[in-house]
Structure 1
Amino acid sequence: MDIKRQERAPIYEALEEFKKKRVVPFDVPGHKRGRGNPELVHLLGEKCVGLDVNSMKPLDNLCHPVSVIREAEELAADAFGAANAFLMVGGTTSAVQAMILSTCKAGDKIILPRNVHKSALNALVLCGAIPVYVNPQTNAKLGISLGMEIDQVARAIEENPDAKAVLVNNPTYYGICSDLKSIVALAHSKGIKVLTDEAHGTHLYFGKGLPISGMAAGADMSAVSMHKSGGSLTQSSILLTGRDVNADYVRQIINLTQTTSASYLLLSSLDISRRNLALRGEESFAKVAQMSEYARQEINSIGGYYAYGRDLVNGTSIYDYDVTKLSIYTLDIGLAGIEVYDLLRDEYDIQIEFGDICNILAYISIGDRIQDIERLVGALEDIKRLYSKDKTGLLSGEYINPKVAVSPQEAFYSQKKSVRIMDAVGAVSGEFVMCYPPGIPILAPGELITKEIAQYIVYAKEKGCSMQGTEDPAVEYLKVLEQ
């Protein structure tokens, strides 16, 4: 990485020059630097709406960058150790989908864990690729999916030698990492591409003592959520590619679905955040890891909670652990994770990332302070004292292995009927059902609905999980394939 060159932020610099020129706007957006929408100016400020501008020659164009955006992407590639980088304004959802659409066509096979984000399965609906699931082990107590074991991947490749790609979560939402380097070496030896979903792994490129990043492991493509741990604005992400990927073709795939009106607020935030991480990332993420480890120790000293970390590492299904993730098991105080999540927000004005059936996740990043950590620890101690109860009857388990009956695309576009959830047992799902966050489907189109899955959906809904994916807003009915 060329540190001197990383001091540049070309999109930011071009916007600064643009501001000085007092250009009269006869283009879009129609608010005309906020003059047409004073309430928006009041909410966001003159500086913000004044930089909400359209593509023009001095500011380049994201669909076909030739100047400042092109330079910003080259700087991002250099910072992340990639051959090429693409600035994404549709979130990491669009980056994940671009990876899959660039690699797979209708009928192609892709090997992936079932605990992928819905964006990956949506891509299969779009392109018609066939999933070959490496169903990961689960931790019976914590109720979470573990990593992809190398022998499982080897078996999947042996049984499906025509697969086009392997997709790996690096890390999972909960911080668990697979043996990525070995998976890459194995897949490449068979001529198969490796794609990494690093929605929760921006910091792996800059921090020391953290799990290996996708590009460092030799992956072909990686989707990175800069807005999560990297500090950019929500919805801004980066897609990275390796040396053996046709970057011009990837750009064409991105342009199939990405907006032609890219937000310069998002683009400049990516530019500035990349510079910040390149220059100060190692120091910043050292503090994040230190704060997370401190929080882990303090929470475990309360009793009743289990803030897990590197102690889980076993070298196979949990090859490594991302210590910046503060994942906390809550069932031993008699409360589901989603119940603790709700209490923290409603009673203590603390908004954490998510709560599921067994766990909560507090996202620690470059913007946190030690006093915030102490406030969270104090609130958890309070919740245990005031709200803990007998845990009898609580379900454990975030993940149930599904059986794929038909491809996601075929199921999504099939004739369907609507039935009550418990009456859907034995049928094939025609839609997604998930708790969001984290957005990992409980059911995906084409999967068989078992009694266990149906009961889990009802339980998660009763506990207060935010349910998504169904056509029915109340999530009382499911769309299933007509027999």
Structure 2
Amino acid sequence: MDLIRQQRAPICEALEKFRKKRVVPFDVPGHKRGRGNPELTKLLGQQCVGIDVNSMKPLDNLCNPVSVIAEAEDLMADAFGAAHAFLMVGGTTSAVQAMVLSVCAAGDKIILPRNVHKSVINALILCGAIPVYVKPKIHPVIGVALGMEADALLEAIKANPDAKAVLINNPTYYGICSDLVKLTKIAHEHGLKVLCDEAHGTQLYFADDLPIAGMKAGADMAAISMHKSGGSLTQSSVLLIGENMDQAHVRQIINLTQTTSASYLLLSSLDISRRNLALRGKESFAKVKEMSEYARNEINAIGDYYAYGKELIDGSSVYDFDVTKLCVFTKPIGLTGIEIYDLLRDEYDIQMEFGDLGTIMAYISIGDRMQDIERLASALSDIRRLYKRDKEDLAYVDAVTPKVVCSPQESFYAKKQSLPIHKTAGRVCGESVMCYPPGIPILSPGELITEDLIGMILYARDKGCSLQGMADPSADNIQVLEGVLGA
């Protein structure tokens, strides 16, 4: 990394230069630097709306960058150790989908774990690729899906020698990491591209003693959520590629779905955040690690809760663990994660990243403070004292690997009918059903609905999880393929 060059922020510099010129705007956006919408200006401030501008020659164009955006992408690639970087303003969803669409066409197979984010499934709907699921092991205590094992990948490749790519979560939402170097080596030896969903892995590129990052492990592509742990504005992300990817082709794929009116607020936030991480990231993430480990120890000292960490490492299904992920298993106090999530928000004014059926997660990043950690630990202790009850059997969304009957694309566009959920066992699902966050589908289009899955969906709904993806938001009905039985 060239630390001298990394002091630049070319998009931000161009915006500041443009602001000083006081150009008369006869272009979009129509609020004209905020003058046409004073309420918006009052909410966001003149500094913000004054640089909410459209693409123009001095500011470059994200669809075909040749000047300041091109330079910013080059600096981003240098900071992350990639051959090239694309600035993404459609969130990491757009980056993940661009990865899949860049290497898969209709009918192509892609190997992936079942606990992928919904953006991956949606990419398969868009391009018509066929998922080959590698079933992960489930941890016997905390109930979450673990990493992809080398033997499982090899078995999937042997059974599907025509597969084009493998997608790996690095890390998972819960901090679990696979042996990325070994998996990448196996995939490349068999001619497969390696795609890394690193939506929760920005810190891996700028910290010591954390699991290996995708680009360093030799992955071909990696999707990075800069806005999650890297400090940029919500919806701003990065797509990284290695030397063996066709940069022009990837740009064309991105431009199929990415806006032609990119927000310079998002682009400048990526530019500034990259500079901040390049110059101060190692120091910042060292503090994040310190806060996370402190929180883990404090929460475990309360009793009953289990804030898990590196003790999960077994060298196989949990090859490594990202200690910046503060996930707390809640079953021992008799409450689901979503119940504690609600209590923390409603009674203690603490907003967690997510609560699912067995876990809550606090997203610790460069903006957190130690006093906030203390407040969280104190609230959890209070909840245990006031609300603890006999523990019950809990279902876990991550533990599901449904049978794939037909492709996501075929199922999504097939003729469908809506049936009461309790009458759908044995039918093929025509839509996605997921708890969000984290956005891992319980059911995806083309998968067989079973009584167990119906029970899990209803249990999650009754416990207060936010169910998404269904035409019926109440989850009373599910869309199934008309006239198709999956059993």
2:462 counterpart letter in structure 1: E
SS class of match (2:212): coil
Q: Find the counterpart in structure 2 of residue 339 from structure 1.
A: 339
1:461 aligns with 2:461: yes
How does 1:209-224 map onto structure 2 within 5 Å? Answer: 209-224=209-224
How many percent of aligned residue pairs carry the same amino acid?
A: 71
Is the 1:142–1:396 Cα contact (8 Å) retained in structure 2?
no
1:280 aligns with 2:280: yes
1:141 counterpart letter in structure 2: V
Structure 1 residue 393, shift from structure 2 partner: 4.5
Is the 2:115–2:398 Cα contact (8 Å) retained in structure 1?
no
Structure 1 residue 31, shift from structure 2 partner: 0.4
Cα distance in structure 1, aligned partners of 2:140 and 2:412: 32
Structure 1 residue 399, shift from structure 2 partner: 2.3
The Cα offsets for residues 325-371 of structure 1, whole Å up to 9 and x where unpaired, read as: 00000010010000000000000000010000000000000000000
Is the 1:432–1:470 Cα contact (8 Å) retained in structure 2?
yes
Q: Find the counterpart in structure 2 of residue 351 from structure 1.
A: 351
Cα distance in structure 1, aligned partners of 2:23 and 2:469: 44
The Cα offsets for residues 248-268 of structure 1, whole Å up to 9 and x where unpaired, read as: 000000000000000000000
How does 1:92-111 map onto structure 2 within 5 Å? Answer: 92-111=92-111
Q: Which runs of 5 or more structure 2 residues have no equivalent in the other structure?
A: none
Is the 1:128–1:409 Cα contact (8 Å) retained in structure 2?
yes
Q: Find the counterpart in structure 2 of residue 433 from structure 1.
A: 433
Is the 1:109–1:162 Cα contact (8 Å) retained in structure 2?
yes
Cα distance in structure 1, aligned partners of 2:254 and 2:136: 30
Q: Find the counterpart in structure 2 of residue 60 from structure 1.
A: 60
1:11 counterpart letter in structure 2: I
How does 1:35-54 map onto structure 2 within 5 Å? Answer: 35-54=35-54
The Cα offsets for residues 51-107 of structure 1, whole Å up to 9 and x where unpaired, read as: 100000000000000000000000000000000000000000000000000000000
Q: Find the counterpart in structure 1 of residue 126 from structure 2.
A: 126
Q: Find the counterpart in structure 2 of residue 384 from structure 1.
A: 384
Q: Find the counterpart in structure 2 of residue 248 from structure 1.
A: 248
SS class of match (2:276): helix
Structure 1 residue 422, shift from structure 2 partner: 1.4
SS class of match (2:216): coil
Structure 1 residue 32, shift from structure 2 partner: 0.5
SS class of match (2:361): strand
Is the 1:344–1:351 Cα contact (8 Å) retained in structure 2?
yes
1:418 aligns with 2:412: no
Structure 1 residue 161, shift from structure 2 partner: 1.1
Cα distance in structure 2, aligned partners of 1:332 and 1:393: 10
Is the 1:109–1:130 Cα contact (8 Å) retained in structure 2?
yes
1:56 counterpart letter in structure 2: M
Is the 2:109–2:132 Cα contact (8 Å) retained in structure 1?
yes
Which stretch of structure 1 is more off in the superposition, 91-100 or 384-393?
A: 384-393
Cα distance in structure 1, aligned partners of 2:393 and 2:156: 37
How does 1:30-429 map onto structure 2 within 5 Å? Answer: 30-396=30-396, 398-429=398-429
The ranges of structure 1 where at least 4 consecutive aligned residues each deviate by more than 3 angstroms after the TM superposition are 393-398
1:404 counterpart letter in structure 2: V
Is the 2:139–2:145 Cα contact (8 Å) retained in structure 1?
yes
Is the 1:196–1:223 Cα contact (8 Å) retained in structure 2?
yes
Q: Find the counterpart in structure 2 of residue 16 from structure 1.
A: 16
SS class of match (1:350): coil
Structure 1 residue 401, shift from structure 2 partner: 1.3
Structure 1 residue 394, shift from structure 2 partner: 3.8
Is the 2:397–2:442 Cα contact (8 Å) retained in structure 1?
no
Cα distance in structure 2, aligned partners of 1:329 and 1:86: 36
Cα distance in structure 1, aligned partners of 2:396 and 2:179: 26
Provide closer, same or farther for how the CA distance between residues 278 and 367 of structure 1 changes in structure 2, counting only shifts above 3 A.
Answer: same
1:238 counterpart letter in structure 2: V
The Cα offsets for residues 154-173 of structure 1, whole Å up to 9 and x where unpaired, read as: 11111111110000000000
SS class of match (1:185): helix
Cα distance in structure 2, aligned partners of 1:255 and 1:395: 41
Is the 1:358–1:397 Cα contact (8 Å) retained in structure 2?
no
Is the 1:10–1:271 Cα contact (8 Å) retained in structure 2?
yes
Is the 1:358–1:398 Cα contact (8 Å) retained in structure 2?
no
Is the 2:60–2:68 Cα contact (8 Å) retained in structure 1?
yes
Structure 1 residue 140, shift from structure 2 partner: 2.6
The Cα offsets for residues 283-328 of structure 1, whole Å up to 9 and x where unpaired, read as: 0000000100000000000001000000000000000000000000
1:189 counterpart letter in structure 2: E
SS class of match (1:482): strand
Structure 1 residue 398, shift from structure 2 partner: 3.3
Cα distance in structure 2, aligned partners of 1:327 and 1:395: 17
1:89 counterpart letter in structure 2: V
1:114 counterpart letter in structure 2: R
How many residue pairs match? The answer is: 483
1:159 counterpart letter in structure 2: A
1:218 counterpart letter in structure 2: G
Structure 1 residue 395, shift from structure 2 partner: 3.5
1:292 counterpart letter in structure 2: S
Normalised by the size of structure 1, how large is the TM-score? 0.99
Which stretch of structure 1 is more off in the superposition, 136-145 or 77-86?
A: 136-145
Cα distance in structure 2, aligned partners of 1:319 and 1:242: 23
SS class of match (2:215): coil
Cα distance in structure 2, aligned partners of 1:397 and 1:267: 35
Is the 1:418–1:479 Cα contact (8 Å) retained in structure 2?
yes
What is the root-mean-square deviation of aligned Cα atoms in Å?
Answer: 0.7
1:261 counterpart letter in structure 2: S
Cα distance in structure 2, aligned partners of 1:473 and 1:308: 33
Q: Which runs of 5 or more structure 1 residues have no equivalent in the other structure?
A: none
2:104 counterpart letter in structure 1: C
Is the 2:398–2:440 Cα contact (8 Å) retained in structure 1?
no
